[in-house]
Amino acid sequence: MEIYDWLTIVMVCFIGAISPGPSLVIIIYITNSRNLISGFLASLGHGVGIFIYALISIYILSMIIKYLPISTALLQILGGLFLIYLSIQLIYFTPLNAQSKTNRIFTKSGIHSFFIGLLTSLINPKILIFFSSIFSQFIEGNYSDQTKLGMALLAGIIDAFWYVLVSYSINTQKIQNYLKLRQSIIFKILGITLLIFSCYLIMKSIKYFL
């Protein structure tokens, strides 16, 4: 893959990681109710789950493209539509309550925090759809296993890094206040960026049928 492709994957994976959802609530809750280390471990567990989902989606897409080459453009269009949906959610983002609670009962085990983060990512089917949307734009039948592993690993590292940053910011008042004041505008900028990128991908894929 070209460096442009890797940078594009980094950008879209980062936007996907910071998108508000149940994972954010769980990581915030674990960090608030336990300690920073537990938040870090839960973040790492979530990153491992993302890595697993990304790897599965890459290999599934590789098989589909290998045996049904014509499906490539259709997958790219569907993926672009899903990314547009995600971008609209970002543009109209409303801040989450950092004190949101869950009815789950947590123990104080660090290992348990790791597995809570792991399960939080694995039980969310939207993650598989998200990665199918991303990687459908880049997957080719001749990619080596090392390249596929690198793509999945990159997604997992970006996700874990983001939630580690979230856990840390919760324990740093200055960073927390800064993000609270500016999170809406940050998400709007990222949402517009993703919207433009998604429309470009769809237009490029539609040319295949013309």
pLDDT band, residue 13 (cuts 50/70/90): confident
Q: What is the pLDDT of residue 48?
A: 93
Angle CA 187–192–195, to nearest 5: 120
For the stretch 59-107, pLDDT in tens is 888 887 777 766 767 777 777 787 788 778 778 876 555 444 443 444 4
Segment 27-55 shows an average pLDDT of 86
pLDDT tens digit sequence for 147-204: 889 989 999 999 999 999 988 887 776 666 666 667 778 778 877 887 887 787 788 7
- Please enumerate in sequence order all residues whose Cβ is within 8 A of that of 106, keeping only pairs 6 or more positions apart, or say none: 30, 33, 34, 112, 113, 116
Question: How confident is residue 25, by pLDDT bands cut at 50, 70 and 90?
Answer: confident
Predicted pLDDT of residue 175: 67
Binning pLDDT at 50, 70 and 90, where does residue 210 land?
Answer: low
Residue 47: per-residue pLDDT = 93
pLDDT > 60? residue 20: yes
The reported pLDDT for the residue numbered 142 is 67
Range of the domain at 60: 3-209
pLDDT grade, residue 122 (50/70/90)? confident
What's the average model confidence in pLDDT over 112-130? Answer: 78
**What pTM does this model have?**
0.70
Q: Which residues contact 110 (CB under 8 A, 6 or more apart)?
A: 37, 38, 41
Count how many domains the chain has.
1
